Each structure stands twice: as structure tokens, then as C-alpha cells.
Structure 1
């Protein structure tokens, strides 16, 4: 059995143990997928999935009570800490667009911000199992922000583009994305 297949089996086995018996919100499902991937050493999330220790303990106690979940990243961190400078900006952007009254929103934001420091597609860095899961999670938690991505730009590029625009920075010299030579890097399949 290949190592990749073994990791996938471990992720699915872990997920089966974490899967919510009664879902509190759709976030419970997505957090279970990310937690299972993280425990199996997939994705790039660091220790405590990028959350503060107290947040991580609250998340595991509330959503996965009785589960023995490590607080250290099994795979070790593969994050690009040179991009840590925009962490607060990412948190503020996501908080600004977050739907009110979602209990898990701070956990979701913390995990997304940590995953944004990875170098792969955001859904892969988070340990989600598909881009459609990420799209659904963003649409649920940040509906106004997700609605702005009406051309289906890759999510990490889109979020960083929103950061730049919020600061009044327009780095692209091309008047339209459709004529840019980097179009396939920003738009197109992530699967």
C-alpha cells in the first residue's frame, strides 16, 4: 500500500471518528474534514491548526469531545512565515465580511488565515477534500465576500486581491484579467 493511500485511509478513518453525529452547523462538518486531514499529516496547518491554544482547546472540546486530538502538527509546519505580515489584515478582512452570530467564526478565520500562508491551493493547504468544500465554507461564513468572486478566481488569490484593493493597491497593469498572461494561474481548475 502506498504512503499516499495510507494517509488517505488514515484521514478517512479519523474523519469517521470525528464526523458529527448531529451537526451543530455546516462548519462542524468542514472542521471535522480539516481536523482529520491535519491529524493525518495533510495540509500545511501548524500546531493547534493555527489557532491560539485556548481556541484550539475550545474547538476540540465543543466539536469533538472525548476525541484524543494532538495539539502539535503531525506533519510539521510547511508555512511561508514571510507572509505573516498580513495576518492581521487577513483576520480583519474576514471578520469584516463574516456572517454574524456564527459560534465557530473565530476558529474558521484562524484556520483560514493559517492555511493562507501555505503555498498550494487554499483548499489543499487547509486539508479540505475539494475546492467545492472551500467554496461552500466561504459562502456560508462570508457570503458577501464569496459573492464578489463572481468570475471564480482561485480563492487564495481572490482573498489576497481583496486585501490589496482594500489598501488601494492595484498591482496588475493589465486593464482586464481576461487579457493577462497569468489568467490560467488565477482562474481555472484546482482539482
Structure 2
């Protein structure tokens, strides 16, 4: 028997999360994905239809991580992202893929979701719909450990990903010789509340 989730403002993010978790295998990625989906279901975050996944990826994610749980493919917030203005989409995908801990469908889902969230205008953890920055750090350390290790100074994640792209291309656009003396330091390393 499959459960059908109705999108209702009366259902809280926590209730969606609890419901999703009841259908999950309890793995770390299932917990993070449940939080992302729960936020998406109440219109939080920046993720578009199908969380930024293709239709088949979205259905596969539900079948493998939340078997028996059905969701609409359409963003309840009505948000849609315009990937045509994201020239670096493939570069971000390649960067994440290069540092992924494993090659499997789940990794591809996370890459697509993270890249879609990079188009949002808030911090990456907020655009993903995670509930805190430490959750994002843990998710990245679990799935992209070598990339997460590079962020040893705890730079804000979205800025860090784009800095990695610039450095890979040999572009150094920072005005200061090091982060510690840069006047923009609080924008890159400050709190993300």
C-alpha cells in the first residue's frame, strides 16, 4: 500500500520529515534527503520541481530511499530555476563528481540537487532546505570527503565551491593575497544564521 502525501500548509516541515523517515532505511543520506524534501514540501529552500532531478531520477530516489511514499513532482512553492543563466552547471557537476566518495545513483542525485540549490540566493544549506549549516557540512563530508577536507578554514560552502572552480581554471579574483587580510572576510567566513 502506498501513502499519498497531500500538500497542505497545515502539515509542518517536521511532520513531513517524520513521515518520510518512517519510509526510509535510516541511512545518513536518507535523513538528509528527508530534511531537504520536508522543507521543499512546505515551500522552503530554492529547489525547483523534482528537487532539480530528472523525472526518472526523482522516481528512483523515492523508490530507493522512501519506498512506498509518493510525492508530487512539482515544487509546492512554484519555484523554478533557470539553468540557462548557470554557465558553470557542468563545471560544478564535474567538481562534485571528481570528489565523490562513491559512484552510484545516490551520488548523482545529490550532485543534481546541490547544483540546483547553487542557483538560489541564500546560503547553500538554506537553498537546499537543510535545517542547519552543520548538516550541510556533515552531508558533504560523508559524500564528498576529499572536497570537504579542502574547506579547512570553514568557508561558506557556496563560496567555497565557486572558489574551487576559479582555482581549477587558474583564476584568482580575490583582491587580497590571503583571506585573513581581506576586507570581505566576514562575507566568506562569517556565521550563516
Q: TM-score when scaled to structure 1?
A: 0.91
The 5-angstrom pairing of residues 120-135 of structure 1 reads 120-135=122-137
Change (3 A) 1:104 1:81: closer
Higher helix share: 1
Whole-Å separation in 2 of the counterparts to 1:50 and 1:157? 20
- 2:70 is the counterpart of 1:68: yes
Change (3 A) 1:22 1:9: closer
Whole-Å separation in 1 of the counterparts to 2:157 and 2:12? 27
- Number of equivalences: 186
The two structures, once aligned, show a CA RMSD in angstroms of: 1.9
Given that 1:78 and 1:118 are in contact with CA atoms closer than 8 Å, whether structure 2 keeps it comes out as no
Change (3 A) 1:170 1:8: farther
The 5-angstrom pairing of residues 61-140 of structure 1 reads 61-77=63-79, 79=81, 81=83, 83-101=85-103, 103-140=105-142
1:173 shift after superposition: 2.5
Matching residue of 1:3: none
Which piece of structure 1 moves more, 111-120 or 16-25? 16-25
Q: TM-score when scaled to structure 2?
A: 0.90
Q: Aligned to 1:51, which of 50, 53, 73?
A: 53
